[in-house]
Amino acid sequence: MNPKNFNRLFFVPIQGASLSHSAAAEIFNKDESRTDWHDETLWFVREKRDKAVRQIAEWEQLRSLGSTIKDHTLSNLDNYLAEFEKNAQANGIKVHWAIDAEEHNEIILKIIRDQKVEQVVKSKSMLTEECHLNDYLAKRGVEVVDTDLGERIVQFRNEPPSHIVLPAIHLKKQDVSETFHEHLGTEKGNNDPQYLTEAARQHLRTKFIHSQLAITGVNFAIASTGGFVVCTNEGNADMGAHAAKIHIACMGIEKIIPNAEHLGVFLRLLARSATGQPITTYSSHFHQPRVGQQMHIIIVDNGRTKQLGRPDFRSSLKCIRCAACFNTCPVYRRSGGHSYHTAVAGPIGSILNPNLDMKANADLPFASTLCGSCSNVCPVKIDIHVQLYKWRQELVSEGYTATGKKVAMKGMAFVLSHPSIYRVAGKMGRWMMRVFPFIINNKSLNPWYKQREMPEAPKQSFRDWYKKNKQ
C-alpha cells in the first residue's frame, strides 16, 4: 500500500483548501527547533498562569463559582438576553440581533454605509474572526484596521491569528521585524520588541485619532444593568471606542452574566488563567454612549443555540476565551494554531467547531491525546477532554469516518468480542501487530514505525504462560 492510499483509507479529507490538523501538524514539526521554541513560549505562559493561580487560596472555589454561574445563566439565557436588551436600550444603546455570521456582517456594513464611514478600527473580537468580518468588508471596499498589536501583525501578513489571546504567537521577532520594515518602514534587521512596539504605537495612534467607527468585542454583558465589559492590556479597545463617533460591540449570546457582582468572579479568573496577570490592565465598563456618540450592540447566535440544544456539548458555551487550554495543550504547543484551520483553535476550538461544520472540522476532536490537562486549567470547568471523546462518537455515528478506519475498527471489535478468535489470532504471529497500528512493519508506510521501533513480540502471550505455569 502506498502512503496516499493509507491517507485515503484512514483520513476523511477536509473540505475546502485547508489541510487536516495532522497534515498541517506534520509540516509544522519539520522545523524541530522552531517547534521547540513555540512549545516553550507557550509553556512559559502556562507557568505564569500556575504561579498566579497558586497565590489565590480560593482558586478552586472561584472556578466552581464561575462554572455554576455560567450553568445558571445558560439555563435562563433567553430571559437574561431580553433583560439585557431592555436595560441597554434604556441606556441609549442600540441593540441588534444576528442569527448568523452573514447577518452580523450585514448589520455592520449597513451602519458603515448609512453613516458614510470611511475609517474603521477594530480591537480583538474572536466573534468577528469567526464571522470573517474583515474579509466581508474588504470585498465591499471597507478597510478595517486591527488595533491589537498581535492582530495588526498578522493582518499585515495576511494571516489569521493563531491564538485567541496571543494572535501572533507563532511568529518570531525577526518575522515581525521584516513585516514592519515592509509595512511601516522600520529599520531593517532591528528586532527589538520595544522598538517594534513603539513603531506600531505611532502608526496606530493616527488610525485611532482619525477613525470614525470602532468595533470591539465583549467579554461580559451584564443583564441587570444593560452594560458590557471589554478587557485589554494595550488599551486599544478604549482608544478606538472613545475616539470614534460610532462604537459597535459584537457579542455571542453566551457572553451574558446576570449581575455586576459576577464580574468579581470572572475578572479574577480571566487574566490569571490567560496570562498570569492579576487582572487585565484595562477592564472597561460601558453603559451609555458618550455625549454625541452612537453605541450599538450586536447579539449573535451563529450556531450557539444549536450547541445549547446538545446536552453533551452545551457547557462549551461557558467559555470565557482565556486560552488557558491552548497554553497547556501539548498538541497545540507542538502543532500551532493554524493547524486547526478555524478562528478558535486549541482544545476549546475542537469542541466548538464541529458544531459549526461537522464535515469540515471532523479532524479536530481527534487532534488530542485526551490527556485532560485542558479541563483542569479551564476557569469555568468545561470538561473539554470528555467532550472531545463525545464528539468522536458523534462524528462516527454521523458518518464522518474514513472507510479504512471503520473496517479496521469493526475487525478489531469482532476479534476482541470473541475470546476464541482472539486467542487464535494472537497465536498467528501476534495479531495485534497487524491491526494495531493497523499495518505492516514498514518504515515508509507504517506511521508507528516511521520514528519508533515496534515492540518485540514475545514467544508466548501471558495467557499461554499462565496456563503453563499456574494451572
Partner 1 sequence: MSSREKILGAISINKPELIELPVIDIKSTSVLAADWVEQFTKTLESIGGKVIQLSSIDVIKEEIQQAKIGGEYIVNTLPILGEVNNEINSTMEASLLETVDRAYIEGSMGVAENGSVWLYEHQIKNRLLPFICQHLVICLNVNKIVPNLHEAYKQIDVAKEGYGVFLAGPSKTADIEQSLVIGAHGARSLLVYLISE
Partner 2 sequence: MKVGLFIPCYIDQFYPKVAVATLELLEKLGCEVVFPLNQTCCGQPMANSGFASLSEGCDKNFVANFGEVDHIVSPSGSCVLHVKEHLHDQDEIKAAYIRKHIYELTEFIVDVLKVENITASFPHKVGMHISCHGQRGLNLSSMSELSAPSFSKPAYLLNMVKGLQLSEPKRVDECCGFGGTFCVFEEAVSVKMGKDRITEHAVNEVEYITGGDVSCLMHLEGILKRQGSKVKTIHIAEILNSD
Q: Which of residues 309-348 bind partner 2 (CB under 8 A)?
A: 328, 330-331, 334-335
- Residue 390 neighbours by CB distance under 10 Å: 17
Look up residue 93 and give its three cell numbers: 444603546
| Among positions 314, 333, 338, 392, the unique one binding partner 1 when judged by CB under 8 A | 314
- Residue 101 interacts with which of partner 2, partner 1, none, CB < 5 to 8 Å by class: none
Question: Is residue 328 close enough to count as binding partner 1 by CB under 8 A?
Answer: no
- Residue 53 interacting entry, from partner 2, partner 1, none, C-beta within 5 to 8 Å by type: partner 2
- Residue 9's binding partner out of partner 2, partner 1, none, with CB under 5 to 8 Å set by partner kind: none
Cell, residue 44 = 512559559
Residue from 284, 294, 401, 461 in contact with partner 1 (CB under 8 A): 284
Contact window for partner 1 (CB under 8 A) among 28-36, 275-283, 354-362, 389-397: 275-283
| List of residues 6+ apart from 199 with CB closer than 8 A | 180, 184, 186
One of 156, 282, 389, 400 touching partner 1 (CB under 8 A): 282
Which residues between 80 and 119 bind partner 1 (CB under 8 A)? 81-82, 85, 91, 97-99, 103
| Joined grid coordinates for residue 324 | 488557558
92 touching partner 2, by CB under 8 A: no
Cell numbers for 307: 450547541
Among 148, 363, 383, 394, binds partner 1 (CB under 8 A): 148
In angstroms, give the least distance from the CB of 161 to partner 1: 10
Distance of closest approach, residue 99 Cβ to partner 1, in angstroms: 4
Considering the rule CB under 8 A, would residue 409 count as an interface residue with partner 2?
yes
Question: How, if at all, do strands 220-222 and 120-122 pair?
Answer: unpaired
- On whether the CB atoms of residues 345 and 332 are closer than 8 A, the answer is yes
Alpha-carbon 395 to chain mean position: 19
Name residues contacting partner 2, limited to 44-73 (CB under 8 A).
Answer: 50, 53-54, 56-57, 59-60
CA pair distance 118, 129, nearest whole angstrom: 21
271 Cβ partners below 8 Å, 6+ apart? 231, 277, 278, 279, 280, 322
Residues 418-447 that bind partner 2 (CB under 8 A): 418-419, 422, 426, 430-433, 436-438, 446-447
Per-residue contact track with partner 2, 7 to 26, x per CB under 8 A? Answer: ---xx---------xx--xx
How many chain residues are in contact with partner 1, going by CB under 8 A? 99
| Alpha carbon separation from 193 to 160, 200, 237 (Å, rounded) | 21, 10, 21
Residue from the set 53, 77, 248, 324 that interacts with partner 1 by CB under 8 A: 77
Cβ proximity to partner 2: between 136 and 313 the closer is 313
Stretch of residues binding partner 1 (CB under 8 A), selected from 134-142, 282-290, 439-447, 463-471: 282-290
Q: How far is CA 448 from the centre of its chain?
A: 29
Question: HSE (CB half, 13 Å, CA atoms) of 391?
Answer: 32
Give Cα 350 distance to the centre of its chain: 7
CB of 107 to partner 1, least distance (A): 10
Cβ proximity to partner 2, 99 vs 416, nearer residue: 416
What is the Rg, in whole angstroms, of the alpha carbon atoms belonging to the chain? Answer: 25
Strand partners, 296: 94, 248
The number of beta carbons lying within 10 Å of the beta carbon of residue 12 is 18
**Measured torsion, CA atoms of residues 222, 226, 231, 236, in degrees rounded to the nearest 10:** 170
